[in-house]
């Protein structure tokens, strides 16, 4: 995909305004049926996750059915917001119209203490090259947007 | 070994020579040109084909379009599209169709103009898909390279693997690429800097793309394609070239799981199935054609395929063990130059079958003397997230 084409993609968020706007971070779709309830919760800075009341499986990503049993009874819970970096990388090269303006930035898999492993960015560090590590304890650091917030993480204070 | 069956063989191959077509041909034309050459290589023609396999890179509903385009009337159609390993899946399915008596001549093709289209495969944004998994992840800006890099970081954390050890994968494939004129031409056309053998220091000294992966640990983005013809034993007996038998196959998939170990890939599931069917072991392999999208892909897969224990890959590859001219040390890795230094238009799986076949025919530019057994292992998707694994064990008469 050429850079020009990418900058016109609906995901870029730039398509909203007709004027030349700075590229913005791609945001999740609130209309995606399996994940809508999660993203609605983020407006109130809640990290919601599902656990089956029948078999105990923590299901992530969110979805309508339990992957642990066929008579699942998924219930929503709210995470306390603390976890551990399972692995990470610092992106130095991106052709995405927004993310190319953010390099270098850290992406990480974070294991929340309640079980879900989610993909996010590590923020709140002066230098991602030296201040992010596998096994590091982190907590949620919400990034607010118009209809939702993004569950970023920062080193646990 | 007593149960090993030889029901289907690769009898025709072609690798499209150009990696930079400069907009002069499209993906479908590359597929058709490669198919004709592979059929001719086998001594067959279009009308012999009764089974078609297509990964869908030519467009949606490719199964309806591709037979008309080629001008064939197959009675077996398979459009399995699981990313770069699709062709190992196709070979597995062709073996089964032929074994069942549903087909006699299967045609696998691939074409791509990823380079000409300036596709940012490794460092572009994630696709606009709205699968629930994507809807949870796109905001984080994880490039494909960064996903593989996360496997590398975790591997380093768990097992003490170093960048210098990972660099062995890059230096071995470049060593082979410099012996392959098509690979040298590819690197020339794609304007590589420093088209020569590389050292460990060259690799770890190259620009960091996504920590801990350096530029020389990342595959190229080229144009290209190829074709494979697989035939039943009775057809193979009358083909122009010696048959390369499909002795065993395995398929698997893996995806992000709470508490899962991303240093182990779906290959740990697919490989034992393939080896069991073939009645051979990893230690017997002369040739290892392993999808080298990145250095870490090969290191993790060598472990998953059983060449060494999980976590020991770093030490195992040290000292140039994977080079073609050290046959007593283990398999020769990616003797065509691999995706790192010869050919990667997006889905490299077909080239794994092509070079394995060349080795077992004695036609490689980095030929291992008397090579008799080869493994082709494809990884499709993202190693540190959702991905597919296809293993094919090949042997000559």
Question: What ipTM score was computed for the predicted complex, to two decimals?
Answer: 0.93
Rounded Cα distance, B38 and B256, in Å: 38
Shortest CA gap A38–chain B (Å): 9
pLDDT tens across B356-390, in order? 999 999 999 999 999 999 999 999 999 999 999 99
Please tell me the predicted confidence (pLDDT) of residue B358: 98
Nearest-CA distance A157 → chain B (Å):
22
Q: What is the mean pLDDT of residues B282-297?
A: 98
Average pLDDT over residues B217-242: 97
User: pLDDT (tens digit, 9 = 90+) per residue, A48-82?
Assistant: 999 999 999 999 999 999 999 999 999 999 999 99
Shortest CB distance from A29 goes to which of B117, B124, B130? B130
pLDDT tens profile A13-32 = 444 445 678 999 999 999 99
Query: Which chain A residues touch B384 with a CB distance below 8 Å?
Result: 87, 109
Residues B297-351: pLDDT tens digits?
A: 999 999 999 999 999 999 999 999 999 999 788 999 999 999 999 999 999 999 9
Return d(Cα A28, Cα A10) in angstroms, integer: 11
- B8-118+220-396, what's its fold? Peroxisomal Thiolase; Chain A, domain 1 (3.40.47)
Greatest Cα pair distance in chain A = 52
pLDDT at A19: 60
CA angle B65, B68, B69 (to 5 degrees): 80
Q: Which of B120, B150, B259 sits opposite A88 (nearest CB)?
A: B150
Query: What tokens appear for B136 in the block?
Result: 């949870």
The C-alpha angle with vertex B150 and arms to B146 and B154, in degrees rounded to 5, equals: 165
Q: Please report, in angstroms and rounded to a whole number, the separation of the first and last CA atoms in chain B.
A: 14
Closest by Cβ to B123, choosing from A88, A94, A121 = A94
The mean pLDDT of chain B is: 95
pLDDT tens digit sequence for B76-87: 999 999 999 999
Phi-psi label, residue B59: left if phi above 0, alpha if psi -120 to 50, beta otherwise: left
Tell me the chain B residues in contact with residue A28 when contact means C-beta distances shorter than 8 Å.
Answer: 135-136, 138-139
Give the nearest chain B residue to A29 (CA atoms): B135
CA within 13 Å, CB half, B248: 21
Tell me if A149 sits within 8 A of A42, measured CB to CB.
yes
């Amino acid at each position: 995909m050429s850079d020009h084409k990418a900058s016109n993609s609906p995901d870029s968020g730039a398509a909203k305004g007709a004027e030349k706007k700075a590229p913005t971070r791609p945001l999740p779709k609130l209309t995606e049926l399996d994940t809508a309830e999660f993203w609605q919760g983020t407006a109130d800075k809640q990290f919601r996750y599902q656990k089956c009341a029948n078999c105990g499986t923590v299901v992530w990503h969110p979805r309508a059915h339990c992957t642990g049993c066929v008579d699942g009874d998924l219930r929503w819970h709210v995470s306390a917001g603390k976890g551990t970096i399972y692995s990470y990388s610092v992106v130095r090269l991106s052709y995405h119209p927004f993310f190319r303006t953010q390099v270098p930035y850290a992406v990480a898999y974070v294991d929340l203490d309640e079980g879900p492993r989610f993909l996010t960015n590590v923020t709140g560090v002066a230098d991602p090259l030296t201040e992010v590590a596998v096994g590091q304890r982190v907590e949620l650091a919400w990034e607010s947007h118009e209809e939702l917030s993004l569950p970023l993480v920062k080193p646990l204070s | 070994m007593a149960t090993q069956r030889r029901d289907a063989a690769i009898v025709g191959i072609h690798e499209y020579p150009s990696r930079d077509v400069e907009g002069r041909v499209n993906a479908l034309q590359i597929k058709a040109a490669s198919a004709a050459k592979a059929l001719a290589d086998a001594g067959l023609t279009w009308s012999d084909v009764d089974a078609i396999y297509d990964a869908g890179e030519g467009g949606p509903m490719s199964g309806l379009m591709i037979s008309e385009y080629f001008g064939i009337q197959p009675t077996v159609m398979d459009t399995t599209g699981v990313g770069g390993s699709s062709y190992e899946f196709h070979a597995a399915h062709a073996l089964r169709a032929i074994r069942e008596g549903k087909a006699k001549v299967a045609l696998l093709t691939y074409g791509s103009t990823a380079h000409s289209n300036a596709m940012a495969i490794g460092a572009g944004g994630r696709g606009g898909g709205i699968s629930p998994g994507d809807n949870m992840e796109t905001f984080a800006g994880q490039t494909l390279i960064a996903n593989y890099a996360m496997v590398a970081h975790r591997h380093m954390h768990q097992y003490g693997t170093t960048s210098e050890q990972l660099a062995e994968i890059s230096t071995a494939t470049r060593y082979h690429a410099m012996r392959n004129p098509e690979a040298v031409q590819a690197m020339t056309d794609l304007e590589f800097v420093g088209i020569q053998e590389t050292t460990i220091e060259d690799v770890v000294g190259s620009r960091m793309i996504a920590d801990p992966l350096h530029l020389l640990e990342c595959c190229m983005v080229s144009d290209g394609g190829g074709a494979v013809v697989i035939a039943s034993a009775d057809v193979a007996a009358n083909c122009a070239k010696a048959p390369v038998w499909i002795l065993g196959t395995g398929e698997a998939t893996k995806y992000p799981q709470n508490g899962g170990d991303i240093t182990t890939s779906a290959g740990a599931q697919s490989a034992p199935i393939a080896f069991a069917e073939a009645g051979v072991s990893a230690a017997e392999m002369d040739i290892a054609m392993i999808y080298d999208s990145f250095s870490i892909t090969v290191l993790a897969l060598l472990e998953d395929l059983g060449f060494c224990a999980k976590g020991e890959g770093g030490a195992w590859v040290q000292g140039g063990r994977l080079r073609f001219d050290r046959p007593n040390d283990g398999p020769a890795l990616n003797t065509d130059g691999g995706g790192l230094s010869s050919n990667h238009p997006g889905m490299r799986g077909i080239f794994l079958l092509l070079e394995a076949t060349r080795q077992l025919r004695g036609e490689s530019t980095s030929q291992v003397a008397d090579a008799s057994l080869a493994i082709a292992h494809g990884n499709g998707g993202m190693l540190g997230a959702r991905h597919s694994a296809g293993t094919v064990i090949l042997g000559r008469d």
